[in-house]
Amino acid sequence: MEIWHPLSPNTWLYAISKKTMATISCNKLNSDTNDIELDGLGILTLNQGCKCYTFSSVLYASSNQTSNFTNYIPSLDINKDDLCLQNQKLFEQKLIQMDTLKIDNANLDELRHSKKKLDQFDEFLAQNMQESFLSKNLSWFATTTEILCFAVVMILSCCCCCNCSWLPLIGRFFPKYPKYCGLPSICITNHNERFELSDSQLAQMNLNRLQQLQDENEASLQLMCHSTNSPKPTLLPYTRSSPSTSLELRPRRSNQGGRFHI
């Protein structure tokens, strides 16, 4: 059992129950290692930079270094410094006086002519730069305007013959059943909506068709009478039949525009 108690720097009080060998080594050059025997109670002092090794402990001797530094502050008068004197002399110097330059042999007419030519050249450059910018933008604007106008004309021409009321925003300005372009008033939209005629409309169309056939028959009979110089034959009274049996309305869908033809 080993007990080590420090008394002062590099000095220890030890208590050892049985004899113990201790090895002391120092950091000095060419220093030998010494072995000593420790037993019972005692005081061990090591030199600076030495170490003591026992069976269960290691002792390090500290080293103290003392240095003394003295700061010397010289006395200096800033007003008498050379740098300040040099700067003061620079401020005291006067500006260099330069004589006015006189041009006696210059031709003022040539100078005015040269100035006029330079002004014209500047105006020419500014005009060319502006024209190139305008021509580039105008060509693009004209192309866009032509495309838009063509699209509007095509839409309006299609809406004159078909139902365009389904279009957003502008559909309310077009009639639901347009009557233009010399086409029948029966038309369907792009949604393939089917329109059915009422009985009164069918009857009126049948009567108009029958009246047209009667007029054609009378015209053909008159031509026959004039050609043979025979008296005009007496026409038999015509009896109108019911609209449902005289003419049959058969809608036929064509591939153009989705319209019904009668």
Which amino acid, residue 5? H
Q: Please name every residue paired with 53 in a beta bridge, in sequence order, or none if there are none.
A: 23, 58
Determine how β-strand 11-26 pairs with β-strand 58-60: unpaired
Mean pLDDT of 118-139: 74
Residue 252: pLDDT band (50, 70, 90) is: very low
- For residue 131 the two structure tokens come to 């024209």
Question: What confidence category does residue 9 fall into, taking pLDDT thresholds of 50, 70 and 90?
Answer: confident
Residue 178 is assigned to a structural domain of this protein: no
Residue 34 belongs to a domain? yes
Concatenate the DSSP letters of all residues of 230-261 into one string. Answer: PPPPPPPPP----HHHH-----EE-SSTT-EE
Q: What is d(CA 179, CA 188) in angstroms, rounded to the nearest whole number? A: 13
For residue 6, give both structure tokens.
């420090």
Greater confidence (258 vs 69) lies with: 69
- Does the pTM exceed 0.85? no
pLDDT on residue 186 = 42
Angstrom CA distances, 84 to 79, 91, 224, stand at 7, 11, 140
- Min mean pLDDT across 9-13, 96-100, 119-123 is at 96-100
Assigned domain for 171 exists: no
Domain count, the chain: 2
Taking residue 183's Cβ as centre, other Cβ atoms within 10 Å add up to: 15
Mean of pLDDT values over 198-212:
80
In a domain? residue 204: yes
Question: What pLDDT is recorded for position 78?
Answer: 67
Q: Report pLDDT for 249.
A: 44
Structure confidence by residue, pLDDT tens digits, 15-37: 888 888 899 888 776 667 888 88
pLDDT greater than 70 at residue 239? no
Q: Cβ distance 16 to 1 under 8 Å?
A: yes
Q: Mean per-residue pLDDT for 121-133?
A: 75
Tokens linked to 8 = 């002062």
Q: Tell me which of 61-70, 117-126, 170-179 is least confident.
A: 170-179
pLDDT level of residue 168 (50, 70, 90 thresholds)? low
**Which of these three, 37, 60, 83, is where a domain ends?**
60
Which residue, of 11, 27, 60, is where some domain finishes?
60
Name the residue with higher pLDDT: 98 or 254: 98
How confident is the model over 206-218, as a mean pLDDT? 83
Q: How many CB atoms lie within 10 A of CB 61?
A: 19
Please give the residue range of the domain that contains residue 202. 197-233+242-262
Mean pLDDT calculated for residue range 137-153: 81
Residues 6+ apart with CB under 8 A from 23: 33, 34, 35, 52, 53
Inside any domain, residue 120: no
pLDDT at 182: 44
Neighbours of 221 (CB within 10 A): 13
Task: Give the per-residue pLDDT at 150.
Answer: 87
CA-nearest of 46, 10, 56, 6 to 26 is 46
pLDDT, one tens digit per residue, over 63-86 is: 777 777 777 777 776 666 666 555
Domain final position from 15, 42, 60: 60
Q: Terminus-to-terminus CA distance in the chain, angstroms?
A: 130
Looking only at the bridges linking them, the beta strands covering 2-8 and 58-60 are unpaired
